[in-house]
Amino acid sequence: MSEGRSVFPSEMGGKMDKPIQINLPDKRLNKRYAKLINGHIHHATSIATGIVVPASVKDSLAVTQATWRFLNNDRVTPQGLVEPLRHFARKQLAGAKYTLTVIDWCKLDYKKHTAKKDVVQISHKRDIGYELTTHLMVNAQNGSPIAPIETYLKTANGFLSTAEKFLPGLIKNV
């Protein structure tokens, strides 16, 4: 494991004095992940849904391809990606008397996307796609979101998860 990259919480919209450590297997991956985090945090406008395309990049396709290469790297794991978010949530909630976790389930509809070979039947024969469940940590005092701390994606090949130890028998509606 290489030396980690620090992302300052001000870059993550937080109010902490110490940076969050990203510890992926090498410096290049840490740097790319920090760019991805910052791109999502510093969106163009309050109604933007995507990341900011850096001024040094000619078009958004280059950012998309770089992101795909990063996420397709065998050394980048869901557990490694979620750990800085968990760390951030723990720091934000330090000393809190209560915490809330919002669990969101959604269906990703892929019935018209024939290239996807690992879709799962959701409710009936023609209802196919993926089931995505996200656990979002929320501030119990004011209801503001803090960070997603867990995700599960149900596919025909099983579950993809950010959990360190995933026990599919415990998940009934996923």
pTM given for the model: 0.71
In this prediction, residue 91 has a pLDDT band, given cuts at 50, 70 and 90, of confident
- Do 132 and 150 contact (CB within 8 A), yes or no? no
CA 78 from centroid of its chain's CA atoms: 8
Question: What pLDDT shows up at residue 169?
Answer: 54
Strands (E) located in 110-144: 120-121, 128-139
Tell me the average pLDDT across 131-145: 91
Percent of the chain at pLDDT above 90?
A: 26
Dist CA 140 CA 10 (whole Å): 21
Extract the tokens encoding 82.
Answer: 């979620």
